[in-house]
């Protein structure tokens, strides 16, 4: 695993103040998104040594491994969190190993929701639960509700942009 690049991206997240789940609600045991993203990807994508038919020599396997590490390196960058091309590419790599029938990810101790959020971002079905009702609320707000109302929100944003809807709720805080 390209640990240096994963560690660097994970450490950098501590200082990100815009758009990061840590700004939604304080959670004392929040795990870095970059680490979860890398671990989920690496758990699902086979090491090239599993496919000696395609990569028969140690050199060919290492070259393929380096290519996969580059994908991880791109994935873990915070700025790439919304990059559809990079995530589509990552999902295509996952499908090469697991097929079209993607496994779901279940985090029974989801806490701040890092693992289900990143599973969902990678295109997997994500399940989360927790003993603590605050954690359940964070997961609902961050994972369940945005996915459920994604299309309505897109339509609403487009309507606001086209001035078909008056953004009353924002009018006291934002300058339209
Ligand atoms: C270290 S935190 C999880 C961190 C989380 N993976 C993240 O990325 O933010 C452990 C979580 O396990 C939950 N927990 C502890 N015992 C539990 C139990 N018996 N059943 C369900 N959740 C439990 C705690 O409420 C806490 O949110």
In tens, the pLDDT along 100-133 reads 999 999 999 999 999 999 999 999 999 999 999 9
Q: Please name the residue that has the structure tokens 């927790």.
A: 130
Question: Which of 103-107, 139-143, 149-153 is least confident?
Answer: 149-153
Task: Give yes or no for residue 28 having a pLDDT over 60.
Answer: yes
Express each pLDDT in 91-102 by its tens digit: 999 999 999 999
Select from 30, 32, 35, 111 the residue to mutate for testing ligand 1; criterion: most ligand atoms less than 8 Å from CB.
Answer: 111
- Between 54 and 29, the more confident residue is 54
Select from 21, 27, 29 the residue to mutate for testing ligand 1; criterion: most ligand atoms less than 8 Å from CB.
Answer: 29
CA of 51 to the centre of ligand 1 (A): 36
Calculate what percentage of the chain has a pLDDT beyond 70.
Answer: 89
CA of 59 to the centre of ligand 1 (A): 42
Question: Which of 28-42, 98-112, 152-166 is least confident?
Answer: 152-166
Alpha helices in 18-168 (DSSP H): 33-44, 58-75, 84-98, 114-121, 133-139, 145-148, 150-161
Going by the DSSP 8-state scheme, the letter that residue 168 receives in this structure is G
Task: Give yes or no for residue 49 having a pLDDT over 50.
Answer: yes
Going by the DSSP 8-state scheme, the letter that residue 110 receives in this structure is -
- For residue 111, the ligand 1 atom closest to its alpha carbon is 27
Identify the residue whose C-alpha is closest to ligand 1 atom 27.
Answer: 111
Ligand 1 pocket member 111 (CB < 6 A):
yes
Q: What is the pLDDT of residue 130?
A: 95
Give the mean model confidence (pLDDT) for residues 161-165.
70
């Amino acid at each position: 695993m390209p640990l240096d690049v994963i560690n660097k991206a994970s450490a950098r997240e501590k200082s990100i103040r815009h758009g990061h789940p840590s700004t939604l609600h304080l959670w004392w045991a929040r795990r870095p998104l970059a680490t979860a993203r890398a671990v989920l990807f690496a758990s699902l994508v086979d090491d090239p040594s599993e496919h000696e038919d395609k990569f028969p020599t140690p050199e060919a396997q290492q070259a393929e491994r380096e290519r996969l590490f580059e994908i991880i390196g791109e994935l873990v960058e915070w700025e790439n969190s919304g990059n559809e091309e990079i995530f589509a590419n990552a999902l295509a790599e996952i499908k090469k190993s697991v097929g079209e029938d993607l496994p779901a990810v279940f985090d029974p101790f989801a806490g701040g929701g890092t693992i289900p959020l990143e599973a969902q971002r990678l295109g997997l079905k994500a399940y989360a639960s927790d003993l603590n009702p605050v954690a359940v609320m964070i997961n609902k707000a961050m994972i369940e509700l945005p996915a459920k109302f994604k299309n309505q929100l897109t339509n609403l944003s487009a309507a606001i942009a086209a001035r078909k809807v008056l953004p009353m709720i924002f009018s006291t805080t934002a300058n339209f």
